Structure 1
Amino acid sequence: MAHITPTPAGGWRANWRDPAGRQRAKTFATKREAKRFLAELETSLTRGLYVDPHAGRMLFDPYATRWLASRNDEITTRARDASVMRTHIIPAWGTWTLGRIDHTSVQEWITELGERRSPATIAEAHRILSSVLRAAVRDRLIAYDPCDGVKVPRRRKRDTADQIVSRDVVRKQLLPVVPLRYRAVIAAAAGTGMRWGELAGLCDDAIDDGLRTVRVIRTVVEVSGNTSFKPFPKSAAGRRAIPVPSWLRPVLVAHLEQYPPGENGLIFGNQVGKPLRRTLFRARVWRPALVRAGLLGRVTQTGGDRYLATWVDPDGTTMSKPFDTEPAAVGCVAEHAAGGLRFHDLRH
């Protein structure tokens, strides 16, 4: 039975047994505080909501590491969450004990993070921190989730979100300036609405002889620069057969004749027959093609053999810089210009 005893130092010790039958104790300055603590403790024991007052002494870092390792999410989800944890959460909370993390401290962290990160990044950081602390509540390490009620900046759509590009722009402006090897994958994205991973994982067993339909049966995922096949699409509805529009068939035929599938049957493999990597494709093919198509920034030839690169940076400031070669000017705009069509926008 719970009881209170005086201590030699003049304080009062609250004594009780936890649900496992182990003797526990906590010291207070006054007898009234000890009585109040035991009253609340007995209520939590009766309701099955007991939390060991000393359990919150565990450091956040080892607990979060264990939580992350226990997840059975998709490989891309695990990689994303691990990146957010490593970049934003552990540096802020790793040395804190679980019991010291309070609502106000979390709100201050979110507000400070909002001064230098996007609302989407802040929402992800808040989601993962809250998931870890909710797990700590379920493990009876802390009594409540201090992330509950924290105000997170709203995600607002920008003019560059979900852009729609017309068929004429794709066929007459964009495709002609794309390197020949990668022209068909962009055309296929615009003509079928397939996602990047579905196109990167498209093999010859998924298209019929007449190129009338293409089936989505697998995807390619990329984590830390490494690609791997996933033998199913993003969702159950993602497994589907898509009709190939008439204008796209000759583009695919020409591609297959010039770049026949390798041993793994990939339709849009890279130069060594491996799946295309999204990050490299975006930097080396997609963004430069947008510049040359007049859809991102501007490159103009000035006197002699000089080229002037002009673009708008993320702060809305118009920038310009001269270059000796056209590829260098295009590369500068592709790297530094804000906005621009995303490959995913071809689905719209």
Structure 2
Amino acid sequence: MAGGTGLRWGECTGLRWESLNVTTKTVEVVRVAVEVAGTVTIKPYPKSRAGRRAVPVPDFAADLLAAHQEAFPAGPRGEVFTNSSAGPLRRTLFRARVWRPSLVRAGLLGDVSRLGHFKWRAAWVDLDGVKCSAEFTTEREAVAHVAKIAPGGLRFHDLRHSYATELVSRGVPVNDVQAVMGHEKPSTTLNLYTHRSDGRDQRIRDAFASSR
């Protein structure tokens, strides 16, 4: 959801099915979940006036949401995403139990490989650049160890960054990117969520090629 729409963490966790239109493939951002000292509350409005917006949902995300709806019951107020007890998602727990282990399994954080029967190797690089490893009897233990001890790794918010950068790189006008990101100023979109893209120099040259 975050990778396909650029929604913030609180906008994703505060999302309800009533705000998703599966026919038009659009999500209405009208509320956010806010976590303070381990307690999650819902605010009936986004971060700013610009934050209240409609965002198109790409096909891949719409398909995954449909599968999610079939596999998992909605929360008590129609929440799309909940924990295993149908309660609100807490960011710190999600990061430790779901997000970082998923990075390990996807090959984006450290490495876990099978050495033999009941033997798994966990490998990672520490803050000093030293390669470290340890052996475990199950894959789950190896993944959990790397997720806990390996430094760095993709952040949840990086999905929002990638979303905006991808749109700009593919030629979507900045004012349109600003609107779906919920920014009040286009400069925020450009300064925070975009960077130099591959092939930039050649595209600039090509833009003037026809003027000769």
Amino acid of the structure 1 residue aligned with 2:18: D
Give the structure-2-normalised TM-score: 0.72
- Cα deviation, 1:283-340, whole Å, max 9, x if unaligned, reads 0111001101111001111133211111112232221111111111101100011111
* 1:211 and 1:249 in contact (8 A); partners too: no
Could you tell me which residue of structure 1 aligns to residue 154 of structure 2? 341
- Name the counterpart of 1:44: none
Q: Is contact 2:75-2:81 (8 Å) kept?
A: no
Equivalents in 2 of 1:268, 1:189: separation in Å? Answer: 12
Cα 1:211–1:201, aligned 2, differ >3 Å: closer, same or farther?
Answer: farther
1:308 equivalent in structure 2: 121
Pairing 1:122-141 to 2, within 5 Å after superposition: none
Residue 262 of structure 1, CA deviation: 3.2
Matched, 1:264 2:68: no
- 1:310 partner amino acid: A
Q: Greater relative contact order: 1 or 2 (C-alpha under 8 angstroms, separation 6 or more)?
A: 2
Note if 1:213 corresponds to 2:26: yes
Q: Secondary structure at the match of 2:60?
A: coil
The ranges of structure 1 where at least 4 consecutive aligned residues each deviate by more than 4 angstroms after the TM superposition are none
TM-superposed deviation, 1:190? 0.7
TM-score normalised to structure 1 length? 0.45
Rounded to whole Å, the distance in 2 between the matches of 1:266 and 1:315 is 42
SS at match of 1:343: coil
Aligned with 1:286 (options 99, 111, 136): 99
Is 1:297 aligned to residue 110 of structure 2? yes
Identity %: 55
Task: Determine if contact 2:10/2:34 at 8 Å carries over to the other structure.
Answer: yes
2:33 corresponds to which letter in structure 1?
Answer: V
Corresponding residue for residue 11 of structure 1: none
**Kept after mapping to 2: 8 A contact 1:200/1:276:** yes
Match of 1:328 among 107, 118, 141: 141
Counterpart in 2 of 1:191? Answer: 4
Structure 1 residue 209: Cα displacement: 4.6
Q: For residues 124 and 22 of structure 2, what CA distance do their matches in structure 1 show?
A: 45
Letter in 1 for 2:75: G
- Specify the SS of the correspondent of 1:214: strand
Structure-2 residue corresponding to 1:230: 43
Give the distance between the partners of 1:264 and 1:272, measured in 2 at CA.
14
What SS class does the counterpart of residue 157 from structure 2 fall into? helix
Gaps of 5+ in 1: 1-187
In structure 1, C-alpha distance between the alignment counterparts of 2:146 and 2:115, rounded to whole Å: 16
Unpaired segments ≥5 residues, structure 2: 163-212
**Contact 1:299–1:307 (CA under 8 A) maintained in structure 2:** yes
Q: Deviations over 1:191-244 (max 9, x none)?
A: 101011100000122112515100111111112211111111122211110001
Q: Determine the structure 1 residue equivalent to 2:67.
A: 254
CA shift digits 1:142-167 (9 cap, x unpaired) = xxxxxxxxxxxxxxxxxxxxxxxxxx
Name 2:202's counterpart in structure 1: none
Distance 1:278 1:263 in 2: 19
CA contact (8 A) 2:38 2:90 kept: yes
- Residue 168 of structure 2 is matched in structure 1 by none
Q: CA deviation at 1:344?
A: 0.9
The number of residues matched between the two structures is 161
Residue 289 to residue 209, structure 1, CA distance change in 2 (3 Å): closer
